[in-house]
Structure 1
Amino acid sequence: MPVFDYDPPDRFVAGAVGQPGSRAFFLQARAAGRITTVGLEKFQVAVLADRLDELLDEVLRRSGGRAPVPAMAPAELADKAPLDLPIDEDFRVGTMALAWDPETSQVVIEAQEVTEDDEDDEEGLADDDRPEPAVLRVRLSPGQARAFTKRALEIVAAGRPPCPLCGQPLDAEGHICVRLNGHRPQEIR
């Protein structure tokens, strides 16, 4: 099982490539001259950012405000730069895990490669014969984690604007709105 371990990374960001509506989403870690890029879905980026904020808020709450966790992303840690090139996907993310390491006061993020268990079961492979999935493991300071979350939520929000009636994303050509029973507004001539 290849483990891409960054403790700590020089940079850890979420990013997207492409036009709204057809973007590809990535997590990218960089340190000591190496870069790991993993692909994932937009909802996975959003969930990771939300859960990361919740984890940090809970650590702060349980410590009675004494934990070294900033309430907001420190401005000096903001990263507005695009993803590092070339964008070569090392693997697609299936499952993710978050943890707080009280010994080091760091957040640990693990993104594990998607597995094809169903296909392996059909082929009759024993558990021992299955290859171990790749893992990206990143350890971040609480400030780095808040900065990651802020950027990730901005990336997710930068997609297609929502329909004012139903909230679904609008395409350049519009969309069939369920609130209008599937009808498009008639053009005025």
Structure 2
Amino acid sequence: MSRVIHVFRQPERFVAGTVGEPGDRSFYLQAMEDARTVSVLLEKQQVSVLAERISALLAEIARRFGTELPDNESDQDTDPLVVPLEEEFRVGTMGLGWDADSRSIVVELLAVTEEEIDESVVLDDTDEGPDAVRVFLSPVQARAFAERAEMVVSAGRAPCPLCAEPLDPQGHVCVRLNGYHQRSAMAD
């Protein structure tokens, strides 16, 4: 079966978002163009890494090509994900590049597969390989995506000031306190 590559050359929207409560959230990326919406599921860490790498790529593009970077305070898309949320696939491999012709950052998200992925299928239109979503972002759109993604990731549970593990509403057993609850250790 041939692979399906969803291409968004001029997306109206490309955002990270979540479904669920902190500590039990599912992370999604959603691309929209015209009347078409594609949503993919991925891990929190993948969202964080993608935002970080997009920011680094924007800085490198500015350094190498003299491209002006957009302000950090770009128009922020704070709307929720579009529902109904129908997951196209779970993301395994991600690719990132610069298309000099369209002056766009290209984000490619490939579906999880059981086979090892040959890196030549990333950002390529070969018939063989995992399904993919390919999104072309202007530097302004890329900056807005990275900012929102960082906000979405940081909106979860607060980290413990001692061990940096997430604090649960039910309590937290901190390894830095040898397994004692922070409150009970301070009361002694």
Q: TM-score, normalised by structure 1?
A: 0.87
Cα distance, 1:132 vs. partner?
3.2
Q: Which letter does structure 2 place at the counterpart of 1:41?
A: E
Q: Which residue of 2 aligns with 1:87?
A: 85
Q: How does 1:29-178 map to 2 (within 5 A)?
A: 29-63=31-65, 66-75=66-75, 78-117=76-115, 132-178=129-175
Encode CA deviations 1:123-173: one digit per residue, 9 max, x unaligned: xxxxxxxx7311000000000000000000000000001111111100111
Moved over 4 A (4+): none
CA distance, structure 1, for counterparts of residue 168 and residue 61 of structure 2? 40
Q: What count of residue pairs does the alignment treat as equivalent?
A: 172
Encode CA deviations 1:69-88: one digit per residue, 9 max, x unaligned: 3242523xx10000000011
CA distance, structure 1, for counterparts of residue 115 and residue 174 of structure 2? 37
Alignment RMSD: 1.5
Q: Which letter does structure 2 place at the counterpart of 1:42?
A: K
Contact 1:68/1:105 (8 A) holds in 2: no
Q: Which letter does structure 1 place at the counterpart of 2:5?
A: V
Q: Which residue of 2 aligns with 1:181?
A: 178
CA distance, structure 1, for counterparts of residue 138 and residue 57 of structure 2? 13
CA distance, structure 1, for counterparts of residue 160 and residue 177 of structure 2? 11
Q: Which letter does structure 2 place at the counterpart of 1:2?
A: V
Contact 1:38/1:89 (8 A) holds in 2: yes
Runs of 5+ unmatched residues, structure 2: 117-127
Say which SS state the counterpart of residue 80 (structure 1) adopts: coil
Q: TM-score, normalised by structure 2?
A: 0.87
Q: Which letter does structure 1 place at the counterpart of 2:164?
A: G
Say which SS state the counterpart of residue 107 (structure 1) adopts: strand
Q: Which letter does structure 2 place at the counterpart of 1:113?
A: A
Cα distance, 1:45 vs. partner?
0.2
Aligned residues with identical type, % of pairs: 49
